Amino acid sequence: MNVGYARISTDGQTHVAQITALKAAGCDKIFTETASGAKKDRPVLAEALAYLRPNADDKLVVYKLDRVARSLPHLIEIMDRLNSDGVEFQSLTEAIDTKTPGGRLLFHVMGAISAFERDLIIERTQAGLKAARAKGRIGGRPRQMTEEKINAVRELLASGTPVKDAAAAVGVSVPTLYRWLPGASR
């Protein structure tokens, strides 16, 4: 049985292309997940791995290698588990099929390249943030609480508006309001 696993990182993305390719590859069951590939603990991936039957000619099929893991150690851990259970692995984009010796070799090479690529992305991001800080800019999300919002919240709280309602009125969460106005009465 071919078991597909499709993963996207954010809700703004879609599984459609991966599911289409997995169906074309003959997947009988497809698990979909929205989670960062950098996270090792992914419940749907765990469910997909548990669904595979040891020594039953099952195969885990993914659209692309980085859909199953973003780090080489995690990828190898998954592959070791599949291998010990007698389960095959196939990545459609990289044309990796662990049924063959060449496929197993290519799997390890592509895994190393994926880990290298992720490390480069992290390195470039850190260099970019460092350069921005040197120019006086600070990375991260834009401020949620402007001076105008802070004043509006103070007025609402002074007039007896509950904290929850004051936060909603300016479009922030209650924890954000407390972070910006630590003295606000709870």
| Those residues with Cβ within 8 angstroms of residue 170's Cβ, 6 or more apart along the chain or in another chain | 145, 149, 152, 153, 177
Would you call 91 a catalytic residue per the annotation? no
Question: In Å, how far are 30, 56, 87, 88 from 106, measured between CA atoms?
Answer: 24, 24, 17, 14
Query: Which of 9, 91, 173, 185 is labelled catalytic?
Result: 9
Structural contact between residues 1 and 59, judged by C-beta atoms closer than 8 angstroms: yes
Question: In Å, how far are 14, 126, 148, 182 from 155, measured between CA atoms?
Answer: 43, 40, 11, 15
Structure-block tokens of residue 85: 């259970």
The residues annotated with a catalytic role in the active site are: 9
